[in-house]
Amino acid sequence: MAKTPFIIAAAAVVCGLAGNLSAQTALRDQPDVRDGIIYVGMAYEISEQCNDIRARTFRGINFLQSLKRRAAELGYSDAEIDAYVGDRAEKRRLEDIARAQLALLGVVADDPETYCAVGRAQIAANTRVGWLLR
């Protein structure tokens, strides 16, 4: 599939800006943050597989920074975010979710045109994934 693990790049950016409050629920169970990382991963995967579509890098970085702020608002500490970002099993889990969602949308592994078709549809529908692409 992707040449590099896309969630690693996305999750690495999420690290760093959270406050020092204690959270009740595991960060992996916070849909605002988790789903945002998945959307970035889906957009990245599409941009890597379809030569006609590019990721909106600046927009993606700003979106990931907003996920950091959201984690802070939810009360997660830097250490909690670092632990979440560094969890390899969680990265693989998020990659699997992103790829499964892409497959549900019509992506077929090793068929770049299906990535392009899904990417164009996401852009046209102005979904969160499409908003991260051009």
94-106 pLDDT, tens digit each: 999 999 999 999 9
Q: Is residue 80 part of a domain?
A: yes
Q: Is residue 1 part of a domain?
A: no
- What is the structure's pLDDT at 18? 37
End-to-end CA distance of the chain: 21
The set of residues, in sequence order, having a beta carbon less than 8 Å from that of 110 and lying 6+ positions away, is 1
- pTM given for the model: 0.80
Q: Is residue 74 part of a domain?
A: yes
Q: Is residue 62 part of a domain?
A: yes
**How many domains in the chain?**
1
Q: Is residue 71 part of a domain?
A: yes
- What is the structure's pLDDT at 97? 97
What is the span of the domain harbouring residue 96? 6-131
114 near 42, Cβ under 8 Å?
no
Q: Is residue 13 part of a domain?
A: yes
